[in-house]
Amino acid sequence: MHDDRSLVEARLRRVLDERIRPAVYPESVPLDVAVWHAPGEPVPIDEGLAAEPGPIEVGARWGAPWGTSWFRVTGTVPEEWAGRTVEALLDLGFDENMPGFQCEGLVYRPDGTPVKGLNPRNQWVRIGAPVAGGEQVRLHIEAASNPVILDYHPFRPTWLGDKDTAGHEPQYTLTRMDLAVFDETVWQLVLDLEVLGELMAELPADAQRRWEILRAVERALDAIDLQDVNGTAEQARARLTDVLSVPAAPSAHRISAVGHAHIDSAWLWPLRETVRKVARTTANMTALIEDEPDFVFAMSQAQQWAWVKEHRPEVWARVKKAVADGRFVPAGGMWVESDTNMPGSEAMARQFVHGKRFFLDEFGIENDEAWLPDTFGFAAGLPQIIRAAGSTRLLTQKISWSQTNKFPHHTFQWEGIDGTRIFTHFPPVDTYNCSMKGSELAHAARNFKDKGRAQHSLAPTGWGDGGGGTTREMVAKAARVRDLEGAPTVVWETPEKFFEKAEAEYQDPPVWVGELYLELHRATLTSQARTKQGNRRSEHLLREAELWAATAAVRTGFPYPYEELDRIWKTVLLNQFHDILPGSSIAWVHREARATYQRVAAELDGIIDAAQRALAGEGTRSLLFNSAPHGRHGVPAGGAGEEERLEEVTVSERPEGGRILSNGLLRIEIDARGLVVSAYDLAADRETVAPGAAANLLQLHPDFPNMWDAWDVDAFYRNAVTNLTDIDELSVGEDGRSVRIARSFGSSRVTQVLSLSPGERRLLIDTEVDWHETEKFLKLAFPLDLHAERYASETQFGHFHRPTHTNTSWEAAKFEACNHRFIHLDEPGWGVAIVNDSTYGHDVTRAVRTDGDRGTTTTVRVSLLRAPRFPDPETDQGVHRFRHALVPGAGIADAVREGWRINLPERRVTGAREVAPLVTVDNDAVVITAVKLADDGSGDVVVRFHEAHGGRARATLTTGFEVAGVRATDLLERPLPDTPERAGNRVTVRLRPFELVTLRLARV
C-alpha cells in the first residue's frame, strides 16, 4: 500500500481549520455594545455597573495600558433559535496564543453576580441550553486592558511595565460581540479529530495503531459534507467510535490530571491585577466544576484564596461549596509560591505557618504537599521546614528547565541538610500549563525516568502564569484518553490521591541529597537589589519586633501586637513571591515593593521602640539592646545593658601609599588604589589575602544574556572583566578610625568606607553605589590565600557545602549560587568568612599560583548590582548601600555569629534599667531564631532554635520567667509527642546537626 500519511494528515489540518471548527457556531447575530472607561484604578463593581456607557462598535480600538473598561452587551435571542444551545461570543481583541498575558474580562449579570472570566482561550458565555427564543440578554464585562509585556519578540525593553510610563494609546481592537448557536455535535467532532490527530502524530510510523487511526480519520473526513458540516458531523463521529473505544495497554503510563491555573502573584502585572486574575479564574473553575462531574481543580497560595474572600464574596461562596464537595482543592500549604533560595529561616517557616493555618481555619483542611511548580530552585534547608510544618511531599516542575544537566529522577526522596527526607515529584510532562495535547501526554510517558519501578505521574492541567485555568476542551480531551490505546491513561485526581498512588507503588525511590539547583535564572539572586534589601531588613526587623514585644509583654504587661505582626508577616511573605523577591517583575511591582518595605520598616521600628522603652523605663543610662542570638560588647543575646569599653582602632600611613588600620586583632593594609593588599590575623600570624592579589576589588562585567534578561546571567559574562582600580579619593574617615575611598566608572560612582571595630576580628566594608550602568554586572572580589575544596554558604536553619572546583558539569553549572548571611572557607584550623547585610548571589573559584609558593588562591566574589532592561528598563538605577565584612581566622561558629551581627545592629536606648533575656541558651552552636508569644493569644512563649554548626549539640535553655510546662511543637505551634526534659526553668535539649526545634513554654 502506498504511504499516504502526509496527504491525510494535511487534509485533516485544513478541514479542521477551515470547515469544522468554524461550524461549531453556525449562526450568529451581533450584540449591541456600549463602554465606560474607568478613570484611574479599577472601581468597585457597583460603580462599574451603574456607570453610563457610551457607544462603541466592533472594530474600534479600546483600552489604555492598565486601564479598566466596563462593556455592556445587550441583545435578543432570535425566536427561530428555540430549542438550541446559545452562547455569547465575547472577543475583546484576544490573541489565542497569549492566555493570561493580555486583556482579560470578568462577566457579570446586571445584579452584580459574577458569571465567568474571559481570556483568549475562553471567550464564551452560555446563555441557554436550550433557549426558548426571544430571551433578553444583558451582560456586563469588567475588562482589563493589560498590555502585552512578553511579546512575540520577547525581552525587548518596554515602558509598558508601569502605569506612570505606559502612556494612553489604546491596546486592543474589539473583535466580536455576538450571540451564536453552539453546535455541540460539531464541537465534539473537533475534539475527536484533535485527539486522534495528535495521538497519531506521536506513534511510530510503522505502528499498526497509527495506521488504524489514520484510516478511521480518513473515513470520517469522507463522511463530512464540506457544504453541510453541521448536518453530517454525527455520521463522521460514528466512523471514529471504534478507534476511540480501543482500551489502553495495561502497561500504559498513568497520568493524574489536576486542574490548575498557575497564577503569578505578581510578574508582568501588578498585585492589584492579580487580585482580579484570581477572581476571573476561580469564577471559571467553579463553573467548570458544576458542568463536569469528573473534574478536580487545585489552587495553591493562601494569599490568593484570601483575595477572593476579601474582594469577591460571591465567587468565594461558590469556591467554598466546591471545596466542601472535594472538587476545588487547597494545595501547597504556603502563603504564596515563594522563592525558596533567598527567604530566611523564619520567613520560610512562616510561609507554611500562615498558608496552612489559613486552609485549616477556613476549611479544616491540612495539605500534605508543598506545591511549587515554578520556583527557581530549592534550598537544601527546605525539606526540614516542610516536615516541621506537618507536610511530607513536594511537587515542582521548574528543574526541567535546567540548561546543562538533565535531572535523573521524576519521583524520588529529597534529603535536606539535617537528613530529613521529603517524597518529591517532578511531572515528566515538563509543564505546569498542560493543555492535554497529544504531544504533551506522549512526552510525559516517554520522558518518565522511573519506568519499570513506577507508572504514575502528575500533570497540572490548565492555562497558567497569568491564570485562566482549565478549559472545557481540556476536560473533553482528557475524557477521550481516559483509556485509549496508544496514549497514557488520564484521570482527574487530587494531588493527595496522586501522591498516595505514587508512594504506594514506589516504596524505595532513589535519594537526592542537597539543594535542587536550577541551572538557569541565576541572576535572580541579584536583580532588583532594593527589593532584596527590603526583604532582608524586614525579616530581621520582624525578629526584633517579636523578641522585644514578647519580652516586654512578659516583664511589663506590654500589649503584644498580635494583629499587627500577623498582617506585617503576610505582607513580607507576599513580597517573597517567586517573581517579586527574585527581581523578575515589571517596574510597577518593584516600585510598590520598595514603598511597602518602607512602610513595614517604619511600623516595625515603632513596635520595637515602644517595647524597648517599656523595658528600659525612664532614666538616663545609655543601654545597648542586643537582638542577635549571641552576646556582644558584654550584653547578652536578647538582653540590654551597658556596653564594654574596648581597645581603640588606629589609622596610620602606609609607607608605599595608602593607609593601615589596626585594632590589636587585625592589621589591614589598604594601598593607594583603595584595595586591601593585606588582612593579617595577628593572633594566628596568618595572611588572608593571596600573594600579589588585592581584596575589596570591584569588578565590572558586560551582562547581556541570551534571553530572560532579569532572570539570567550566562557563563560567558566572565569572558570580559574590568577591574575598577582608578581612584578619585582616599582619605581617613571623619571618625578617625576608618578609610574612605571614592572612585568613578562609566556613568556611576562608588564610595566605600573600610573600618575596624574595637575588639572585633572583622573588616567592615560599607559600599555606596550611585549606579547608572546598563547591561553590566558589578562584583566585589576577595582573593584568599586558602586551599579549600569546598565552602559553606548559609541557608535556612544551617549551611550547605558546595565544591570550589568544576570536575563535573554539575559543578560547573553552579557558577552563581545563593547564600544568606555568610560564606565560609577554611583549611584545618583556620578559615575566613565573608558576611553581608543584604546580598545573595556569589561565585567562588580557585586557581593555583604558577610562581612563588605555588599555593592556591580561592576567590569569593559577592554580586552587587545588575542592569538588565527587561522587564524593567531602569532596573536598579540610582543609589544603593551595601555592608559586607571580611572575617579572617573565622571558624564556622564565627561565620554564624558575624552573619547575625551585621544584620542585627545594636540599638541604643536611654533608660533606667538593664534587661535580662527572656530565654538564654548555654551553647553557641544552638541559635535561637525566634522568640515570640504563641499565635493563639494564650500568652505562652514560643522559642524556635536550631543547631547551626553542623554537629551534634547538647544545650540548656533557661527562661527568665516561671514555667508551668513545656512542649515541643511543630511550626504551627501544635504539640508533638516528644516531651523535653525540664527542671524548673531549665530545659535540656539534644540536637542532631542542623536540627530545628520549636518549644512552647507555658507561663505560671
**Which residues carry out catalysis?**
374
Contacts of 781 (CB under 8 A, 6+ apart): 695, 697, 698, 699, 859, 860, 861
Alpha-carbon gap, residue 428 to 498, rounded angstroms: 14
- Residue 479 C-alpha cell reads as 475524557
What lies within 8 Å, CB to CB, of 582 at 6+ separation is 339, 342, 376, 521, 524, 525, 527, 528, 711
Q: What is the DSSP string of 585-624?
A: S-HHHHHHHHHHHHHHHHHHHHHHHHHHHHHH-SSSEEEE
Which DSSP symbol is given to 783? E
Give me the residues paired with residue 270 across strands: none
Report how far residue 100's alpha carbon sits from residue 120's, in angstroms, rounded to the nearest whole number: 8
**Using an 8 Å Cβ cutoff, are 958 and 986 in contact?**
yes
Question: How far apart, in Å, are the Cα atoms of 90 and each of 120, 166, 174, 476, 911?
Answer: 10, 26, 9, 22, 68
Q: 142: which residues sit within 8 A by CB, 6+ positions away?
A: 42, 45, 48, 68, 70, 105, 106, 108, 276
Q: What is the DSSP letter of 249?
A: P
| C-alpha angle 821-822-823 in degrees, rounded to nearest 5 | 150
Amino acid occupying residue 961: F
Element (H, E) at 14: helix 5-15
Taken as a whole, the chain contains a residue count of 1004
If phi > 0 it is left, if psi is from -120 to 50 it is alpha, else beta; for residue 708 that is left
Residue type, 787: H
Evaluate whether 87 touches 128 at the Cβ level (below 8 Å): no
Alpha-carbon distance 53 to 438, whole Å?
45
DSSP state of 972: T
Q: How far out from the chain centre does Cα 639 lie?
A: 35
Neighbouring C-beta atoms of residue 712, cutoff 10 Å: 23
Grid cell digits, residue 335: 502563603
Q: In this structure, what C-alpha cell is assigned to residue 955? A: 544545650
Give SS3 for 143. Answer: strand
Confirm if 117 and 63 have CB atoms less than 8 A apart: no
d(CA 581, CA 524): 8
Residue 4: count of CB within 10 angstroms of its CB: 11
Between CA 653 and CA 905 the distance in angstroms is: 30
Exposure letters 215-244 (e unless 16+ CB within 10 A, then b)? ebbbebbebbeeeebbebbeebbebbeebb
Q: How far apart are CA 26 and CA 184, in angstroms?
A: 11
Cα separation, 898 vs 901, in Å, equals: 5
End-to-end alpha carbon distance in the chain: 91
- Cβ atoms 422, 386 nearer than 8 A: yes
CB distance 424 to 412 below 8 Å:
yes
Residues 694 and 677 sit within 8 Å (Cβ to Cβ): yes
Distance, in Å, from the CA atom of 944 to the CA atom of 954, rounded to the nearest integer, reads 15
Peptide linkage before 993 cis (omega within 30 of 0): no
Cα R_g (the chain), whole angstroms: 31
